[in-house]
Structure 1
Amino acid sequence: MSGFTVRSLLDDPAVKTRSLVPGVGEDRRISWAHVSELPDPWRWIGADALVMTTGLAVPEDAADQAAYYEGMHRAGIAAVTIGAQMSAPPLAESAFAHAAKIGFPVLETAYEVPYIVLATAVAEAAERERTQRIRLTERMYGALRAHADADGVTPLLAELGEILGGEVSLAGRDERAGAEPGRIDRVLTGHAGDEPDAAADPGSGSGSGSGSGSGSARRSFQTPLLTLGRPTLRFTFDGPAAPEPSLLQHAAGIVTSALSVQQAARHSEWMYGSILLANLIDGTVPLEFASEHLAARGIVAPLVMCVTASVVGGGTLEAAQLALATANVPSLMTIKDGQLVLLVGSSPDLALPLRAIAGRSGTVGVSAPFGGLGGVHGALSQAEIALAQAGDGAGVTHFGSAGAGSLFLPREPGQLRAIAGQVLGPLQVYERRRGTPLVHTLRVFLEENRSWVRAAERLFIHRQTLVARIARIEAVTGRDLNSMEDAAECWLAIRAAIAAGELDSGPGVGSGS
């Protein structure tokens, strides 16, 4: 939808009008026409107007003529047309040169053509544009209805681009100073066809450009959207013409509505997922039930738990929701003790959203990958340990990495094996003789914070069997697991065995053998 421009007027044979500065400002939009014989029409006539004069108000001096054109140009007046062989003084070439320099069209209409002919042509064009604008607006809202159930807004953006005759796309947060939702701004894309001197408003040529625009010109406009993450909606058009700002504003409102509806749906899903994860952590939901719901959401093993620093006032929750949704990474997340806790599938796609979340929270602790949901509690402990040991501003820190090592254990493998052997050696000897997995039982029991119920579930054994095993462990090692000191020694021995590579780094998967 190119609109009625100076070029449109010149191409209409009925108005018998020519340009006295050929090729200048011919893409400037004309919305209405007005006769004026005042020496300063810009005080009374607004932007996009065609000023029609018999020449009575045109100054005689060349410098004054240039100022006459300059005043109308500054007011955004589209063009001035002067009646041929009427009351105008001789028109100075130097004034024409100034008009060409600033990009202001100076036209001449044949003596025999009444100005009502020009005014009618402009009015009829405006009515056609209004009708076309209504039709395009109806089509855009129809596209919103048609794609109401779509997964994402990509199909909607494609159809809006087709309706508007260009490309419509979403980009990241609009960080431009002064950018406001609802205001359509012209931007440069770096494309070879960009016109840096073109109009700031789409659908208008009333800028400082001196040409009519080439067929290869490329115009881009953008506006921030008033929705989560404040994404940027960008419009790109090939050629000098672009739809009116009102149409682009309608498109921005439509995309905002679609995003808001989808974000509301995601928020509802997040609320349900938050309750599910909280229940998993508390141990109040059956693992089989939770596993079915995770699978339905596309969250599959191997899994990881992630914990952030404080979410208070930092926008961490919103950043996490946006980052994971943008990367199409399904997740469960909840707030626990003032921190954001995530349960997600371990995959390469997770790296980017975790960095974005760490950019808000400062640090994200990540557990080692684990299999079934029985490992949630141990993985949460790992993530919390990684977070605590990494410190503020450490970014994404994985459990077992160099930056998340134990404060109390050496790093030399031989020393680590010696520490592990002091506690675990007798258990390993017992295992080789009897076949009972006491080391694994001890590890799971400590990972579950000495919870009889959760440890038995992870090990797939009866609670009484677990009681018997722990009693055997205490007898073999000579330590009382009700004692914090003895439990801490056992835990450090487990950590030393993991660091030395004698045990897997991830939480052990239960075994009833």
Structure 2
Amino acid sequence: MAEHKEDGRRRERTRKEGRERAPEEVRRDGARRGGRQWVTVGDLLSYPALQLRLLAGSAGLGRSVSWAHVSELEDPTPWLLGAEMIMTVGMAVPPDAAGQRAYLERLDDAGVSALAVSTQLRTPPLHDAFLAAAEERGLPVLEVPLAVPFVTIAQEVAAAVHEDTRQRLGAQLQVFGALRWLAEEDLDTAALFRRLEQLSGYQVFLCTPQGRPLLPGAPAPPDLSVLPTQADAPPSVPGGFVLPVPAPGGPAGYLVAFERQGARPAGLAVVQHLAAVAALKLAMVRHERETLRREGAETLAELLQDALDAATARRRLARLGLPEDGPVALSVVRGVPDEALGRALDEHPHLVLRRGEDRYVLSAPGAAPALAALPGAVAGMSRPFTPGEPVRIAEREALWAASRSAESGRPLVHYGDDATGRWLPGDPQALGALADHVLGAALRYDAAHGTRLLVSARTWLERDRRTEEAAAVLHVHPNTLAYRLRRFAELTGRDLSSTAALTEVWLALRAADRLGMVDPADGGSAG
């Protein structure tokens, strides 16, 4: 019961705020559908045979009535769709003023058009607070004389809405035609839902449970407060409906349908069909994405193996949405689930390949902000290159940048951010010769003994030769680091207290990093 009350309060907030939120939305107090006046509370009040008398809420006489039903529940709102007239002999009406006001507010929050009470039976005295609330909210409260059976009122309402039933059935049949449009016309999402909006009389929004757009081309609702907070929430909201979009494993999101001004909304059954069409379109989009994802992973794997010639590579990338002639960049991303990575890059054409804990991403350089915004990400991006060029160098650059990201705590590092790189030759053979000439002896010693001399020297230099800080990063005692630096100097023949030797070692370390010759994640003994 408390959950339904909270839903009622949430709907009331939405009702008050929604007048500015959706200018195209039709409010029930307008009651016009497609140029024809539905039966209103005022119409029923004017029927002599019903002998109804208005007790309060005159501002709501223009509210339309879709149905009239007897309820003696203190809270019937979970079973209401909106625009009903509730009739009661008074058993549902609380005896106290606060309870009566709360009862009326619950009904209004659920979109009830009017409350008809038989005051001559079980109805307790109606307090001023109750009548004042009806006036404030514009919810008509009608008195039904004992001589008029409730069924007479229900028959009048049913007769008035009978004509509209045929229009709703026609709309349902036409919405079914959307399946044919999907099969024959290959409509995109935006065009499909424009047609469905014209047929149904609703403005349609689609979103995930978190409020993000569910399908490309279909906007998310401007006010997320209409989304349900519990699985069994009623579908009706002020001015329309909210329904889950079914998917394997649970709802993929929600379809929100608001009545459009000047249209004839076709009702809940049609909105349910719209949700089914949205689920089908979502399944098609997911299948297409999965197909492209697999093709993209295969293409990226072949690029990394230099298995594609330049022309074939450009054609493949263009088909997968990447620029045929524009620059692309390779990134290595760690510590991010596949789902989060996919969401972050949803608006950027890209290819993804999984290699162990790494995710290789080929995209335009413009995807960098999306990667940098990933929580907990460790990512490195290569320099931009033209599709069709060898990817091996970009792979080394991205791996080096990812290692710098892990060490520095920055979520994304671009290769080339280090100004030292501009002084290094671009030829891998020249880089290799520099690294081997200066660092060869230390590299071979590390490989033979499982030590970390090169990593220790590089970390010390990157921390501006602050021994205690570098030792903390390496998780060793400062004395251990000092010993490693002495051993490194012995093997390389470079005195690290000399500016010339220090410069030569720094450039050689950068060359080795660019070629992927030093892995900071490697373990080892003190050396």
TM-score normalised per structure 1: 0.58
* 2:394 counterpart of 1:394: no
Aligned in 2, Cα 1:12/1:243: closer, same or farther, shift over 3 Å? farther
State the match for 2:277 in structure 1. Answer: 254
Matches within 5 A, 1:186-265: 188=223, 225=245, 233-237=255-259, 244-265=267-288
Matches within 5 A, 1:140-179: 140-147=175-182, 150=186, 152-171=188-207, 174=210
Q: Which of 58, 68, 73 is equivalent to 1:32?
A: 68
Tell me how far apart the structure 2 counterparts of residues 226 and 321 of structure 1 sit (CA, whole Å).
Answer: 21
* 2:461 counterpart of 1:440: no
CA offsets 1:353-381 (integer angstroms, 9 cap, x no match)? 4345x33x512211101124332111011
Q: Which of 377, 380, 384 is equivalent to 2:399?
A: 384
State the match for 1:354 in structure 2. Answer: 371
Aligned in 2, Cα 1:278/1:441: closer, same or farther, shift over 3 Å? closer
* 2:314 counterpart of 1:297: no
Is the contact made by 2:400 and 2:513 (CA closer than 8 Å) also made in structure 1? no
- Which blocks of at least 5 consecutive residues in structure 1 are unaligned? 177-184, 191-199, 206-218, 406-410, 425-438, 447-472, 500-513
Q: Give the drift of 1:303.
A: 1.6
Report which stretch shifted further, 254-263 or 291-300. 291-300
Is the contact made by 2:94 and 2:100 (CA closer than 8 Å) also made in structure 1? no
State the match for 2:350 in structure 1. Answer: 331
* 2:302 counterpart of 1:279: yes
Tell me how far apart the structure 1 counterparts of residues 266 and 144 of structure 2 sit (CA, whole Å).
Answer: 28
Is the contact made by 1:168 and 1:234 (CA closer than 8 Å) also made in structure 2? yes
Tell me how far apart the structure 2 counterparts of residues 100 and 235 of structure 1 sit (CA, whole Å).
Answer: 29
* 2:381 counterpart of 1:366: yes
Matched positions, count = 392
Tell me how far apart the structure 2 counterparts of residues 44 and 121 of structure 1 sit (CA, whole Å).
Answer: 22
Tell me how far apart the structure 2 counterparts of residues 480 and 391 of structure 1 sit (CA, whole Å).
Answer: 24
SS across alignment from 1:370? coil
Aligned in 2, Cα 1:89/1:252: closer, same or farther, shift over 3 Å? closer
Q: Amino acid of the residue matched to residue 320 of structure 1?
A: L
Between the two proteins, what is the percent identity of the paired residues?
23
Aligned in 2, Cα 1:20/1:395: closer, same or farther, shift over 3 Å? same
Is the contact made by 1:201 and 1:245 (CA closer than 8 Å) also made in structure 2? no
Q: Give the drift of 1:260.
A: 2.0
Tell me how far apart the structure 1 counterparts of residues 115 and 257 of structure 2 sit (CA, whole Å).
Answer: 31
Is the contact made by 1:17 and 1:107 (CA closer than 8 Å) also made in structure 2? yes
SS across alignment from 1:391? helix
Is the contact made by 2:105 and 2:133 (CA closer than 8 Å) also made in structure 1? no
State the match for 1:508 in structure 2. Answer: none
Aligned in 2, Cα 1:302/1:16: closer, same or farther, shift over 3 Å? same
State the match for 2:340 in structure 1. Answer: 319
Q: Give the drift of 1:242.
A: 6.8
Tell me how far apart the structure 1 counterparts of residues 117 and 359 of structure 2 sit (CA, whole Å).
Answer: 70
Tell me how far apart the structure 2 counterparts of residues 173 and 82 of structure 1 sit (CA, whole Å).
Answer: 40
Is the contact made by 1:80 and 1:106 (CA closer than 8 Å) also made in structure 2? yes
Q: Give the drift of 1:342.
A: 1.3
CA offsets 1:167-226 (integer angstroms, 9 cap, x no match)? 3234566269xxxxxxxx998579xxxxxxxxx977677xxxxxxxxxxxxx58656656
Aligned in 2, Cα 1:130/1:242: closer, same or farther, shift over 3 Å? closer
Tell me how far apart the structure 2 counterparts of residues 242 and 394 of structure 1 sit (CA, whole Å).
Answer: 53
Q: Give the drift of 1:337.
A: 2.2
State the match for 1:340 in structure 2. Answer: 359
- Which blocks of at least 5 consecutive residues in structure 2 are unaligned? 1-31, 213-219, 226-232, 446-453, 455-503, 515-527
Q: Give the drift of 1:309.
A: 0.4
State the match for 1:306 in structure 2. Answer: 331
Is the contact made by 1:281 and 1:377 (CA closer than 8 Å) also made in structure 2? yes
Report which stretch shifted further, 163-172 or 488-497. 488-497
State the match for 1:105 in structure 2. Answer: 140
Aligned in 2, Cα 1:440/1:114: closer, same or farther, shift over 3 Å? closer
Q: Give the drift of 1:239.
A: 6.2
SS across alignment from 2:345? helix
Is the contact made by 2:94 and 2:103 (CA closer than 8 Å) also made in structure 1? no
Is the contact made by 1:28 and 1:204 (CA closer than 8 Å) also made in structure 2? no
CA offsets 1:431-466 (integer angstroms, 9 cap, x no match)? xxxxxxxx73625x85xxxxxxxxxxxxxxxxxxxx
Q: Give the drift of 1:144.
A: 4.8
Tell me how far apart the structure 2 counterparts of residues 388 and 43 of structure 1 sit (CA, whole Å).
Answer: 61
SS across alignment from 1:291? helix
Is the contact made by 1:70 and 1:99 (CA closer than 8 Å) also made in structure 2? no
Q: Amino acid of the residue matched to residue 381 of structure 2?
A: V
Aligned in 2, Cα 1:139/1:11: closer, same or farther, shift over 3 Å? farther
Is the contact made by 2:54 and 2:142 (CA closer than 8 Å) also made in structure 1? yes
Is the contact made by 1:203 and 1:243 (CA closer than 8 Å) also made in structure 2? no
Q: Amino acid of the residue matched to residue 342 of structure 2?
A: Q
Q: Amino acid of the residue matched to residue 172 of structure 2?
A: T
Q: Give the drift of 1:91.
A: 8.0
Is the contact made by 2:333 and 2:402 (CA closer than 8 Å) also made in structure 1? yes
Q: Give the drift of 1:132.
A: 3.7
Q: Give the drift of 1:273.
A: 1.5
Tell me how far apart the structure 2 counterparts of residues 68 and 298 of structure 1 sit (CA, whole Å).
Answer: 61
TM-score normalised per structure 2: 0.57
Q: Give the drift of 1:152.
A: 4.4
State the match for 1:216 in structure 2. Answer: none
Tell me how far apart the structure 2 counterparts of residues 290 and 388 of structure 1 sit (CA, whole Å).
Answer: 28
Q: Amino acid of the residue matched to residue 258 of structure 1?
A: K
Tell me how far apart the structure 2 counterparts of residues 90 and 330 of structure 1 sit (CA, whole Å).
Answer: 67
Tell me how far apart the structure 2 counterparts of residues 234 and 288 of structure 1 sit (CA, whole Å).
Answer: 46
Aligned in 2, Cα 1:318/1:141: closer, same or farther, shift over 3 Å? farther
* 2:174 counterpart of 1:139: yes
Aligned in 2, Cα 1:83/1:351: closer, same or farther, shift over 3 Å? same
Q: Give the drift of 1:141.
A: 3.4
Matches within 5 A, 1:402-481: 405=418, 440=427, 442-443=429-430
Is the contact made by 2:303 and 2:390 (CA closer than 8 Å) also made in structure 1? no
Q: Amino acid of the residue matched to residue 399 of structure 1?
A: Y
Tell me how far apart the structure 1 counterparts of residues 378 and 46 of structure 2 sit (CA, whole Å).
Answer: 64
Q: Give the drift of 1:391.
A: 1.5
Aligned in 2, Cα 1:101/1:150: closer, same or farther, shift over 3 Å? same
